[in-house]
Amino acid sequence: MAATPPRVLTIAGSDSGGGAGLQADLRTLFACGVHGMTAVTAVTVQNSLGVTGYTEIPPEVVAAQIEAVATDIGVDAAKTGMLASAAIIEAVASAVDRVHVGPFVVDPVAASMHGHQLLADDALDALRSLLFPRATLVTPNLDEVQLLTGIEVRSRADQRKAAEALHAMGPEWVLVKGGHLWDDPECLDVLYDGAEFIDLLGPRYDVRHTHGSGDTLASAIASQLARGADVPTAVRFGKEFIVRSVAAAYPLGGGVGPVSPLWRLEG
């Protein structure tokens, strides 16, 4: 009988097109050699062209999923994705206080890939006040940074300013992703723990198929935290993983295709 692999719980919404959300999380976790588990927060009606609707899962059911998994199987690390509402965020915060979920990565999915706000203002407030203080790491993109802090990032100096503002909200670490800083010829992500900035540089690919990139990065990071890696080591792994996944992105349907963690299964 094989040994139990590290166990990672994703608390997020589904993507019926398979490019993002829980589906992207699970295939990334599989590619990283860990056991993935889910607490479903919402069911989306979605394909490569966009989201046309979604149904929220009742908050008490979201919390019950977290508790069912944690109290039986155990959780070595957890991550969040789409949380949909303030009530669901409150339920998640309460559940992770009641049960052990290990290092906790909060991917504050608050803006679409086109920059449109996905969370109501009360849900943004709940992210700041309830989840960020409980987070080991938060991983916003630049549109989410602006929604959460009011800072419009136009330069690398702005990224550092945003990281400081986000860290003041209570997480242990902040990763301000620079993928949307289109004028920068390289893709810089800034990691910050309140004392030190760590710059993580990578190539910027001229590709349109980037669906699920944030989910894939956060899941790759969580997979290494579940193995006992420290945050900088896990984030460096995640950075390399997402760079390779963007390079392996493929077209799907008539719209935006997904980044692909399948590169890790080749050969």
Instruction: Tell me the mean pLDDT in the region 39-65.
Output: 94
Q: What is the pLDDT of residue 116?
A: 57
Q: What is the pLDDT of residue 205?
A: 84
Residue 132 has pLDDT above 80, yes or no: yes
Q: Which long-range contacts (CB under 8 A, 24 or more apart) does 220-223 make?
A: 220/28, 220/32, 220/261, 221/79, 221/105, 221/137, 221/139, 222/8, 222/10, 222/29, 222/77, 222/78, 222/79, 222/103, 222/105, 223/6, 223/8, 223/28, 223/29, 223/32, 223/33, 223/34, 223/77
Q: What is the pLDDT of residue 16?
A: 94
Q: What is the pLDDT of residue 52?
A: 87
> Model-level pTM?
0.96
10 or 113, greater pLDDT: 10
The answer to whether residues 192 and 174 touch, using CB atoms and an 8 Å cutoff, is yes
Q: What is the pLDDT of residue 219?
A: 98
Contacts of 113 (CB under 8 A, 6+ apart): 210, 211, 256
Contacts of 10 (CB under 8 A, 6+ apart): 22, 25, 26, 29, 36, 37, 38, 39, 78, 79, 80, 81, 219, 222
pLDDT tens-digit series, residues 68-118: 999 999 999 999 999 999 999 999 999 999 999 999 999 999 876 655 567
Ordered by start, the domain boundaries in the chain are: 7-260
What is the crossing angle of helices 21-31 and 213-226, to 10°? Answer: 40
Quick check: helix, strand or coil at residue 100?
coil
HSE value, Cβ hemisphere, 13 Å, CA-based, for 66: 29
pLDDT tens-digit series, residues 149-181: 999 998 889 999 999 999 999 999 999 998 766
* Mean pLDDT for all residues in the chain: 93
The answer to whether residues 144 and 131 touch, using CB atoms and an 8 Å cutoff, is no
Q: What CATH architecture is 7-260?
A: 3-Layer(aba) Sandwich (3.40)
Q: What is the pLDDT of residue 204?
A: 84
Instruction: Tell me the mean pLDDT in the region 124-139.
Output: 97
Least confident window among 11-20, 53-62, 94-103, 202-211: 202-211
Q: What is the pLDDT of residue 207?
A: 84
**What number of other Cβ atoms are within 10 A of residue 71's Cβ?**
12
Residue 186 has pLDDT above 90, yes or no: no
HSE value, Cβ hemisphere, 13 Å, CA-based, for 244: 15
34: nearest Cα among 210, 226, 209 = 226
